Structure 1
Amino acid sequence: MSTRVADPQKSSSRPAITLLGAILAILGAAAVLRISTMLAFLLPRLAEGELTFFSHQALFQAMWAVFAVSLLIAGVSLIVSGVRGKRRDLVPGLTLYFLGASLAINGLLLLTYGHLLYGALAIAIGAVAILVEWGTEVV
């Protein structure tokens, strides 16, 4: 007679988490493709010194690239967590931190560009992502 107790962390697959992960992964992949074309144009010219007045624009695009890669990793992590049936620590904490920090930095840059509403919204969403990260495992 076996008295195995089911692990509360694991259960059957979770289709809603898997679907959300697929959507985030697709959005992240599309954003990576879009940002990479901009960075491929901007970064070599910035390194040569042609566009030194565009350094703030390069930082802005680089932070969007960090956000896009973090979104892609979060989506893939959600897919894996959904398939495995995990209930906690669905996304690694470091991914959430980079996602939130890059969004908050871009929010600050948006504030300096005069986009008050978008900047405040980006900072608020970034802060929420960083706070969610606080309760997760690091890796």
Structure 2
Amino acid sequence: MSDKLLDNVMTFETVTRDIRVAVQSYFLDERSSPETDRFIWAYRIRIVNEGADIVTLLNRHWIITNGKGEVEEVRGAGVVGEHPRLEPGESFTYTSGTPLTTPSGFMVGTYEFVNEAGEQFHVDIPAFSLDSPHAELRIN
């Protein structure tokens, strides 16, 4: 799997307990159907172990909010069917996606990791926007 993120796409990053999580999202116009309120995004995530411990990703927890403020929570084991084990300095990159019934929204979440000593801990996934060309431009 490629270990690179996309050029010319905004990256959202955070570091928790020496685990860096970088996220990029992009709208999939060819898979979306605005006339039936179906908007699809892909997101690419790179997880980097910047610490001294070997860590394994156990679970994920997502909070997905659409443009109407409706919230969906998703919990599950691993990511894309895997439980990446990261030695110091190693990284793991994957791509996944989400549908919404609105042309914009955002996601935020956490990963649950365990280190070699058996200590479980949570790592933040930064909030990132899901913007489509079908969304109304708002300036706050």
TM (norm. structure 2) is 0.23
Structure with higher strand content: 2
From the two aligned structures, give the one with the greater helix fraction: 1
Larger radius of gyration: 1
